[in-house]
Amino acid sequence: MVASMELAKEEGADLVELCIGSMSFSHISDIEQLLKHRLLPSIVSFRPSSPTNLCKCLQVLKLAIELDIEFVEIDLEVATEAVINEFMIKRSNTKIIVSGHLNGESPTTENLGNLIIDLQSTGADIIKLVVDVSYITDVAPIFHMLTHCQVPLIARAVGDRGLISQLLGPKYGAFLVWGSIGDKFVPGLPPLASIKQAYKLEYMNSDTKIFGVVSNPVGHSKGPLLHNPAFRHTGYNGIYVPLLVDDIEEFFRVYSCDDFGGFSVGIPHKEAALRFCDEVHPLAQSIGAVNTIVRRPTDGKLVGYNTDCEACITAIEDAFRGRYVASGQASHVSPIAGKLFVLVGAGGAGRAIAFGAKSRGARVVIFNRRFERAKALAKAVSGEALPYEYLEEFCPEKGMILANASAVGMEPNEDQTPVPKVSLKSYELVFDAVYTPRNTRLLQEAAEVGAVVVSGVEMFNRQALGQFKLFTGGLAPEDFMRKIILEQF
């Protein structure tokens, strides 16, 4: 526990919670030494797991009060009037936190309200809610409680869908939020390092606009690493968070207030999201997928856009131009025009890329694991769909473009590739939309056979610049964002 405290201090924690109940100790004097030598202001907590444990719990908490520790935390079940009175009489500066847990029940406003009444009636200085959540939408009533509670409130939604309870807690007035330390992954807790470096929650206030990436899975998204520093760089009061969404319709229904200014849309919601926009930009409408949604400030309507299309196509064009300029063959016509453009994937990103390639006059051939989707997309862009199993041997001509817009090769499946190395020789340029990892197996092998390679990171950068402009209504700090991508992706 001392080592963890040291790490927390190093990583910039303001205070630590010392969960004494989770420690084994032979004598109370061990705890006394630990508390006396704490490195940061502390919350001393002890959840008794049995009646024998209750004595130990009270002994530890009383000791913490005697030692004038900043906070002690006691469970509602054992926070009787007699116990709280004794704590209050004995304490000099220690603040008393009483915590209540809601598990197995859905966290409705009514349930949480009743629990808060019970917690408040103990006379605690600070109250704490710990709530199991199954969906991100279960966190909304917690924000409601944070906004309206009369006493200082700490709230934690447990589980990976509860992450925003910590990341957005300060906006709604949470007394404090938790982060995990070191490499320890705790579902629902942001790493402390990310709180300090990317999110910088200390700058958040009730006016902070919320943006985020609606995706499932969402852990791979690098959006928070890019958009949060860019907001601060331009002085925009916003935060960008991962939003692990199962049911997109329900998500937009629940989080419909103006606090939520806009969203990036990722796997697998890009096509479904279009249905929940009030208006859709014509390009996104024809693509049939949105990757950006903005809540229009004037009337609160959700407007959908697609910044993937131009991001990918201009990245490919610029890579060609770079090569042609170097060899003195530059021209004003798109270098994609007339080329055979082999697209793998017909999901949201695939659709955007297919429309972009078609708009530049390429001949588009589509391979997708589910053939029906390839056929539908091919029809929409007047291209051709071929069965996925033909991809490996597809080689009608030299100098083709290959664009992978499938999830093949994405972490944690970095060892996979949609097209084996031997088949890459017919491609002049290979693009991979996958950007985690940055240098996918497909790109490595394409470079080895001499193709021009374009990374998904380049597309990511360009689509993020487009999103930033739409989110803030201002110009994106291009050089700054590119620098972050080069340094951190």
Ligand X SMILES: NC(=O)c1ccc[n+]([C@@H]2O[C@H](COP(=O)([O-])OP(=O)(O)OC[C@H]3O[C@@H](n4cnc5c(N)ncnc54)[C@H](OP(=O)(O)O)[C@@H]3O)[C@@H](O)[C@H]2O)c1
Least distance to ligand X, CB of residue 405, Å: 5
- Which of residues 21, 123, 173, 268 is near ligand X by CB under 6 A? 268
Q: Which stretch binds ligand X (CB under 6 A): 5-13, 109-117, 180-188, 341-349?
A: 341-349
User: Could you give phi then psi for residue 19, rounded to 5 degrees?
Assistant: -85, 90
Hey, which residues between 369 and 388 contact ligand X (CB under 6 A)?
369-370, 373
User: How buried is residue 411: exposed, middle or buried, by Cβ count under 10 Å (0-12/13-18/19+)?
Assistant: middle
Of 191 and 456, the one with the shorter C-beta distance to ligand X is 456
Nearer to ligand X, 5 or 442 (CB): 442
Binding of ligand X at residue 345 (CB under 6 A)? Answer: yes
Q: Does 188 participate in binding ligand X (rule CB under 6 A)?
A: no
Q: Which single residue is written with the structure tokens 């380049």? A: 458
Q: How far is the CB of 387 from ligand X (least distance, A)?
A: 12
Least distance (Å) between residue 109 CB and ligand X: 34
Take residue 206 and report the two structure tokens written for it. 């009730």
Is 68 a catalytic site residue?
Answer: no
Told to check if 141 binds ligand X by CB under 6 A, we report no
Nearer to ligand X, 235 or 412 (CB): 412
- 400-404 and 279-280: which strand pairing? unpaired
Residue 410, helix vs strand vs coil: coil
| Residue number, 212 or 348, with CB nearest to ligand X | 348
Token readout for 269 is 């919601």
Is 308 among the residues known to form the active site? yes
Q: Which of 34, 405, 424, 430 binds ligand X (CB under 6 A)?
A: 405
Q: Which of 43, 126, 434, 484 binds ligand X (CB under 6 A)?
A: 434
CB of 211 to ligand X, least distance (A): 16
Contact 438, 224 (CB under 8 A): no
**Residue 183 a catalytic site member:** no
Contacts of 479 (CB under 8 A, 6+ apart): none
437 lies in the site for ligand X, by CB under 6 A: no
Q: Does 310 bind ligand X (CB under 6 A)?
A: no
Q: Which of 263, 111, 99, 273 is nearest to 176 (CA)?
A: 99
Asked if 407 interacts with ligand X (CB under 6 A), we say: yes
Q: Which residues contact 471 (CB under 8 A, 6 or more apart)?
A: 211, 227, 238, 261, 262, 292, 294
- CA distances, 114 to each of 100, 102, 111, 260 (Å): 11, 11, 5, 27
Q: How far is the CB of 312 from ligand X (least distance, A)?
A: 7
Cβ contact 78:54 at 8 Å:
yes
Q: Which is nearer to ligand X, 141 or 350 (CB)?
A: 350
Q: How far is CA 342 from CA 146, 405, 459, in A?
A: 51, 10, 17
Q: Based on the shown chain and the rule CB under 6 A, indicate whether residue 31 belongs to the binding site for ligand X.
A: no
How many residues bind ligand X (CB under 6 A)? The answer is 27
**Least Å from the CB of residue 471 to ligand X:** 16
Which residue number, 122 or 439, has a Cβ lying nearer to ligand X? 439
**Least distance CB 88 / ligand X (angstroms):** 54
Q: Which of 128, 171, 209, 339 is catalytic?
A: 128
User: Burial, 449: exposed, middle or buried (Cβ in 10 Å; 0-12, 13-18, 19+)?
Assistant: middle
The yes or no reply on residue 350 touching ligand X (CB under 6 A) is: yes
Is 179 near ligand X (CB under 6 A)?
no
Closer residue to ligand X, CB minimum distance, 162 or 456: 456
Residue nearest to ligand X (CB): 347
Q: How many CA atoms lie within 13 A of 55 on its CB side?
A: 3
Task: Tell me if residue 227 is catalytic.
Answer: no
110: burial class by Cβ within 10 Å (0-12, 13-18, 19+)?
Answer: exposed
**Contact pick of 94, 406, 467, 472 for ligand X (by CB under 6 A):** 406
Q: Which residue has the tokens 């071929």?
A: 386
User: End-to-end distance of the chain based on CA atoms, in angstroms?
Assistant: 33
Show contacts with ligand X in window 450-479 (CB under 6 A).
456, 459-460, 463
| Residue keyed to tokens 């999830």 | 407
Are the C-beta atoms of 472 and 238 separated by less than 8 Å?
yes
Nearer to ligand X (CB atom), residue 261 or residue 418: 418
Strands 427-432 vs 16-19: parallel, antiparallel or unpaired: unpaired
DSSP SS3 for 256:
coil
Residue 91 interacts with ligand X (CB under 6 A): yes or no: no
Contact call for residue 410 and ligand X (CB under 6 A): yes
Name the catalytic one among 56, 62, 101, 220: 101
Q: Which of residues 208-267 bind ligand X (CB under 6 A)?
A: 266-267
Report, as residue numbers or ranges, the catalytic residues. 101, 128, 270, 308
List interacting residues with ligand X (CB under 6 A). 266-268, 270, 308, 345-350, 368-370, 373, 405-408, 410, 433-435, 456, 459-460, 463
